[in-house]
Structure 1
Amino acid sequence: MPTSGSAVKARSIGKCPPPFAGQPRVEATQVGIIGAGPAGLMLSHLLHRQGIASVVLERRSRDYVERRVRAGVLEQGSTDLLTSAGVGERMIREGLVHDGIKLRFAGEEHRIDFRRLTGRGITVYGQQEVVKDLIQQRLADGGEIWFEAEATAVDGVDDDHPRIAYRRNGDEATLTCEFVAGCDGSHGVSRTALASGSYERTYPFSSLGILVKTPPASDELIYAYHDRGFALHSMRSPEISRLYLQVEAEETIDAWPEARIWDVLRLRLAEPELQPGEIVEAGITPMRSMVTEPMQHGRLFLAGDAAHIVPATGAKGMNLALADVKVLAEALAAWYRSKSRELLDRYSELCLRRVWRAEHFSAW
């Protein structure tokens, strides 16, 4: 096991270890990170900048995680973090900076000017683009990202050397760590390993989302209230729109042919510039809120969706995930510098202040 502050020699860059047979093999690092989404990758990057070694385990392929369409709105705090961490160059070049949003009630528009009211704005830049940038940087730095390596269990979190059991190609291995960061979502193994309770709420509706090849109908996001349901106009680029509709909780995508989707979008958004285009992705997501409290136990720490879920309409998920790992990286750096657990012990407290505010905002 490496000593505190020591580096772990990289065996393979950006890949799983080579296949093995027989008894499970034991690997070691300082911080084991489960999940190669924005939270896990950013944590690995921030730790690297502090001289702390980590290994990221990701059950999916690199191609899959780089194509996975999720959140697309970065708040000022997130863009500041990406920029200060040296991974914001493409975001600055390609992201769409917005100074406000539009709210529509029965066709009447009210604009909220973020820049005038707060001096801050938002940037439209897809989660998959953030993931691509972080993977590229981690590999350039010699970072360890083991794709197609599925974490199956976390144990020993009350000991000095917690362990992550993982599987690759049917073979079993163990990664021994000094700390474990669970960044593997609400259905991942990390959350099940934590003894904390959770607060959950399932809403009586779902969200139908489409990604469509058509220029955005507005230069800013439109949140539209209609007596037949909510609609949201967003975008991913000057050529790609992202649109959402509130639908019944039990709806399936088969019940929504393209013609029906466009008819309802026109009705609810009341946007004359809305133009149909090729729908490249469509799906329905149940709407729910979840908070795990506390977000830590022993040497296991949860971050991002593993610790909390917010309705997508609030555009808070990726921003909360990045805020979590900023706190965790600072706490781990303090421990490796001086063996102080003060920030580690306060991790949940510091994160949950922000999380609960975001939960209330997103539910409202």
Structure 2
Amino acid sequence: MTDLRRRYVERIRRDGAPLSPQLSEAFASVPRELFVTEGFQRRDGTWARPGSAGFLERVYSNDVLVTKVDGGVPVSSSSQPSLMAIMLAALAVQPGDRVLEIGAGTGYNAALLTALGARVTTVDVQDDVVARARAALQRAGVEGVRVVAGDGYAGVPNEHFDRVIVTVGVAGLSPHWLAQAESPRPGPIVVPVEHAGTHPVLAVHCAASGSDVAGPGVVTGRVVCSSGFMTAAGPLTARHPGAHPHPVPATALTAFRPAAPSRWEHSLDSLAYRDLWYAAGVWSTRATHAAVPGRDGSTLILLDEEGTGGAAILPDGMVLAGGAQEREYAAAAAGIVDRWEAASRPPMQAWRITLARTGDSATPIWCPTAWDLVD
């Protein structure tokens, strides 16, 4: 292992990823730079290419590498390594497992899965992404990965898998994944599902036979971790009765003003704030995130029906509100903070989630519809 990759593995571990010896070896042995040979977008918008200053150091940082941009919007990437590690740990791959991956990206995640002993089929709807992933896997000498061009909603018809992992944000699960996740030892479907403007990663299990997904089979999940992913295209992003509003930019909102004072002397740290955010999404279908005027970064907000006002909950518990219904939304926001406190500040992992079939009848999806606190 080179010093660069050794530091890379230690950085992933230090940032909170549960690295087993097998997973550590996978990250140490797979050359990430061979999956971004056309470069990636730096955070300042410029493009980093192989051979440029700091290229390898950035490749082996714990950071997402955006590899394709369309109209200024990132549409393909190599995900943040610590998030990849957390999702792979939740997938609990065993040697010989057949894994369906939705979202090929650069091919790097499929290569890591192969290093863990899996046989991988990865699907991506973008033809150029498919071609680059195939070339990268060949360049890295990775065998045992099949890269398929197609709509991830369909999975791979007439095939079955032991594990399913989704590397793009979705509104719900395709019933085809449930049908295809069928084996003597079925594992979870690890998938980032939209919730309050974010994409927390769920580990989903189906108690019924995969072929019975149109019936009353019980489909449940637990939160693995918080995350933010690029959003999928097509049926996987369908709106449904429990959908939250899309995130909104600061330019869409009216002026917000204090409606309730700070609740806590010390602001919640980022993890606790995300726990509060998740609970807000459970208790309000108007929860999402927004760039509130005059505030840095994204903020938890209950967005009003007009999409221009509502109430924001800050990390210190202060509530800001604006718009025609600011009193109503401010009261709802304060009520969420009260309820979260009364429940002893449950982490997002404490919720047991029940999913139900919803969406368009021709292309249904399975979405979270009920939550119970179990821890």
TM-score (norm 1): 0.22
TM-score (norm 2): 0.22
